[in-house]
Amino acid sequence: MRILPTSRAMRTGAVAAVSAALLVLSACGGTTRDDDGDDDAQTGDETTDESTADPAAGGDPGAEIPEGLSITFLPKQINNPYFDIAAAGGEAAVGEFAGEFNQVGPSDATASSQVSYINTLTQQGVDVIVTSANDPNAICPALEEARGAGAKIVTYDSDTDPSCRDVFVNQASPEGIAQVQIEMAAELIGGEGQIAILSATANATNQNTWIGLMEEELQKPEYAGIELVATVYGDDDDQKSFQETQGLMQSYPDLKAIIAPTTVGIAAAARYIDGSEYKGQVHVTGLGTPNQMREFVHNGTVEKFALWNPEELGYLAAWTGAALAAGQITGAPGETFTAGELGEYEIGEGSVVLLGPPTVFDSSNIDDFDF
């Protein structure tokens, strides 16, 4: 067999030398993060200007909503019960103003799949896209292209970068969500003790925002006796959330409360505590759906938790989209519009519409809801 180590070694050496030279050369000059900041800011402004430069300067509150508006919901993930409830609300709204409703979405909760669907929607020429983003930036170029084709973009549940959407319909203010959870936890443990947070995926934008605000909230003097000992990630997976809850109980035996700002996490944690020796000793609270939590509220594992009504969220988002498409609003702060049965809403700073304060569920009202 022919073995030519020398020539192969020489070739490899030559390749290595050339690559090294290239690297050094490119390192001498090149686009780095710092000098790129201005460039991006400029282009960022440009696009914002383009999109908010509406032909009708300012909204026309009296404008009628045209019939046959096509409104498509694009949640983080299809076949997800939480988003399906929101879609039901959206569909009801679309029925009220005689539009065309549709819901599409990826089976994997990834940004790349969402981009593919957004492109499809652009191609179909839908009037309004209502989406909950898997990644705040990755879907922006696709959304921009959709806007270029004339679509209005409304985000709900999980926002994108403000420059690539018209309005964000937030279920509640992030501060409100963080506050209510800390309030509930504090009340449950009597204002003193160790608490931990069981979150979704490490990358989840909304959870991370709320967790940051919760940490800030805990700095307040009235919560001085409460110590946040750990934040763990259950990845919105039952099994993982179970194991993380177990880990928490073992690492922090004096834990008094677990806050899970995710419906999957709270269900898993409640289930674990229910079947364990820690029942009654550790309080579970956070964001959950009444249907999933009903059993635990009735058997005492969970005393109270919070959420908003996803159906109302979807309903409001659809009406917002219709208002945008009709020209009633342009998305600028201060504008008002009517969202069907929910009444009048005003657009707040950053083009955000708030649904309302979160609802606290406990044994007294949990049976009144079905979602």
Residues 269-288 that bind other proteins (CB under 8 A): 271-272, 274-278
Give CA angle at 86 (83, 92), nearest 5°.
140
- Least Å from the CB of residue 157 to other proteins: 15
Applying CB under 8 A, among 71, 115, 180, 339 the residue interacting with other proteins is 115
Q: For residues 228 and 256, is the Cβ–Cβ distance under 8 A?
A: no
Q: Mask: binding to other proteins, 317-356, rule CB under 8 A, as x and -?
A: ----------------------------------------
Binding range to other proteins, per CB under 8 A, among 38-46, 185-193, 329-337, 348-356: 38-46
The reply to whether 32 sits near other proteins by the rule CB under 8 A is yes
The reply to whether 368 sits near other proteins by the rule CB under 8 A is no
The reply to whether 110 sits near other proteins by the rule CB under 8 A is yes
All residues at 6 or more sequence positions from 327 whose CB lies less than 8 Å from its CB, including other chains? 54, 56, 59, 60, 63
Applying CB under 8 A, among 6, 7, 30, 67 the residue interacting with other proteins is 30
Closest C-alpha to 326, from 59, 58, 50, 102: 59
Please state the separation of Cα 99 from the chain's center in Å: 26
Q: For residues 333 and 327, is the Cβ–Cβ distance under 8 A?
A: no
| Structure tokens, 359 | 């609802």
The reply to whether 79 sits near other proteins by the rule CB under 8 A is yes
- Least Å from the CB of residue 54 to other proteins: 24
Place of tokens 């800390």: 182
The reply to whether 300 sits near other proteins by the rule CB under 8 A is no
The reply to whether 124 sits near other proteins by the rule CB under 8 A is yes
| Structure tokens, 126 | 């839908």
Closest C-alpha to 165, from 148, 183, 152: 152
- Residues 234-253, interacting with other proteins (CB under 8 A): 238-240, 242-244, 246-251, 253
The reply to whether 359 sits near other proteins by the rule CB under 8 A is no
- Least Å from the CB of residue 95 to other proteins: 18
Beta-carbon count within 10 A of 361 CB: 23
Applying CB under 8 A, among 78, 130, 167, 306 the residue interacting with other proteins is 78
Q: For residues 130 and 69, is the Cβ–Cβ distance under 8 A?
A: no
Applying CB under 8 A, among 170, 262, 292, 330 the residue interacting with other proteins is 292
Alpha-carbon span 197 to 66, nearest angstrom: 46
What distances in angstroms separate CA 349 from CA 201, 305, 333, one per listed residue? Answer: 28, 28, 5
Q: In sequence order, what are the beta bridge partners of 75? A: none
The reply to whether 19 sits near other proteins by the rule CB under 8 A is yes
- Least Å from the CB of residue 363 to other proteins: 14
Of 166 and 236, the one with the shorter C-beta distance to other proteins is: 236
Of 170 and 241, the one with the shorter C-beta distance to other proteins is: 241
Alpha-carbon span 286 to 280, nearest angstrom: 17
Binding range to other proteins, per CB under 8 A, among 21-29, 179-187, 305-313, 352-360: 21-29
- Least Å from the CB of residue 366 to other proteins: 10
| Structure tokens, 25 | 């050369």
- Residues 128-167, interacting with other proteins (CB under 8 A): 135-141, 161
Alpha-carbon span 191 to 302, nearest angstrom: 17
Site size for other proteins, by CB under 8 A? 85
Place of tokens 């992030």: 174
